[in-house]
Amino acid sequence: MGGAEDILKTIRDILVNPTPELDGRRLVSFVQSYLSRRDEFLQMHRRFGSPQYILDQETLQKRARQFAETFRRYLPKTKFFFAVKSNNSPAVAERLLLCGYGLDVSSGVELEQALRLKAGEIVFSGPGKTDQELAMAASNAGRVTVLIDSFAELDRLEATASSAKATIRAGVRLTTDEKGLWRKFGIPLSQLAAFLSRAAVCQRVNLCGLQFHTSWNLTPDRHISFISRLGKVLAELDAEARSMISFIDMGGGFWPEQGEWLQYSGTKEGELSRLAGDTSPRPLRHYCFPATPLDEFARRIGEAAHEHLFSLQEFETCFEPGRWVCHEALHFLLEVQDKKADDLVITDAGTNLVGWERFETDYFPVINLSRPGLVERPAYILGALCTPHDVWGYAYFGEGIEPGDVLLIPAQGAYTFSLRQNFIKPLPPVTILPANQVE
């Protein structure tokens, strides 16, 4: 009965502590901020048609500088590397290089792109790097720092660098969770001393840093918890081993201040309703898990670093922001192709632009630029793919909706473009604001 009792307790907890609803005034203000730029978006539609990705370079640059300036208030000796996996458009990386960022890559494909873009500093992370990928890193040792994922990878990198007659800078990734699927990444903290000992005898690998990463962070709590754990392990190292370490890369995973916006089906209550046989979408009910403001993230992480790490010795710090920097900088522009009922329209683009069924669970407003309005109206806004999971949303902001109307889905810069796929429909071009050009 213990299992059943646990399940019932979980259900009670969900019902007693419901997911917080998204503030309607905040949502209307968000929509209004994009309607104020309506003419700009419609001009892009007239010039480049539909569908299209719109990359707003000014917003991208503003967010990148805000992130760096905020963290440097609390951690002055800090470098920033954009996580290419969050948005692999070359135009995004090019703009961020101009902002003084390096690039964080997780594969040979991403490394090739970073090298083509002439990135001056590249960190190469990720498990299961191939011999070919390590060789590419070794042959560009002046620009690449390899974040080693295992003891075996350390040995292979030493052999590869030796063959290339190169000395390569490296760090080691530390797993933040020794249980479950996150065991995939890095080595446990308990093995750090042994790893440093093995690295100390390497002739071609200059191991001088540590990296850790926690994901989907609405608060800084997991960063702070791991920094505390790491400080205890570093304090137990002998001075010679600790002196090997000159940088600590604290990863990324910071959630934008907008918070996580959800459809009803994306909440725990929605999951319970689905299990009970109710799959209705609740089109005008939206939910939000709030995110910690960036300044509080930076302040609390900085305080933890000073307390647990810098009290031992000085380190350079690094961060690998992705979502926080690019989230607001890319938008989808679509056109209504067919109206099958007052509450059912088909657009000229499918969720192959996104690469997954995002909008069945995540919420973002669909804004009708052709018939603007600040009232949200229920309607299934569906794509042109031959699958019922091709959903943009269950409502739109506007004064009606008709074939030919231009729709904007804003703030889609992170983990959409990189996941897009050639499924049924072709991929649209990337158009660039404010230059009004196509990538």
| One-character DSSP codes across 248-303 | EE----BPPTT-EEE-GGGSHHHHHHHHTT-----TT--EEE----HHHHHHHHHH
Q: Strands 437-438, 430-433: parallel, antiparallel or unpaired by DSSP?
A: antiparallel
The total number of residues shown for the chain amounts to 439
Is residue 105 within 8 Å of 114, Cβ to Cβ? yes
pLDDT digits (tens, 9 = 90+) for 370-387: 999 999 999 999 999 999
Across 319-335, average pLDDT = 98
Measured from the Cβ of residue 366, the count of other Cβ atoms closer than 10 Å reads 26
pLDDT digits (tens, 9 = 90+) for 274-308: 888 888 889 999 999 999 999 999 999 999 999 99
pLDDT digits (tens, 9 = 90+) for 54-97: 999 999 999 999 999 999 999 999 999 999 999 999 999 999 99
- What the chain holds in terms of domains, given with CATH numbers, is 19-54+328-438 (2.40.37.10), 57-256+293-326 (3.20.20.10)
pLDDT digits (tens, 9 = 90+) for 37-58: 999 999 999 999 999 999 999 9
Angle between helix 294-308 and 57-74 (nearest 10): 30
Is the pLDDT at 2 greater than 70? The verdict is no
Q: What does residue 256 show for φ and ψ, rounded to 5 degrees?
A: -60, 155
Specify the pLDDT at position 210.
Answer: 98
How far apart CA 42 and CA 119 sit, in angstroms, is 34
Specify the pLDDT at position 273.
Answer: 85
Is residue 262 within 8 Å of 19, Cβ to Cβ? yes
Quick one: how many helices (H) and strands (E) in the chain?
14, 19
pLDDT digits (tens, 9 = 90+) for 94-107: 999 999 999 999 99
Is the pLDDT at 1 greater than 60? The verdict is no
What is the chain's Cα-based Rg? Answer: 24
| 191: exposed, middle or buried (Cβ count in 10 Å: 0-12, 13-18, 19+) | middle
Contacts of 1 (CB under 8 A, 6+ apart): none
Specify the pLDDT at position 113.
Answer: 98
Q: Which two tokens stand for residue 361?
A: 């669970």
| One-character DSSP codes across 296-307 | HHHHHHHHHHHH
Angle between helix 90-98 and 108-116 (nearest 10): 50
Specify the pLDDT at position 143.
Answer: 98
Specify the pLDDT at position 9.
Answer: 76
pLDDT digits (tens, 9 = 90+) for 346-378: 999 999 999 999 999 999 999 999 999 999 999
How far apart CA 295 and CA 100 sit, in angstroms, is 20
How far apart CA 270 and CA 277 sit, in angstroms, is 11
Is the pLDDT at 436 greater than 90? The verdict is no
Which band of pLDDT confidence, cut at 50, 70 and 90, is reported for residue 272? confident
Specify the pLDDT at position 438.
Answer: 78
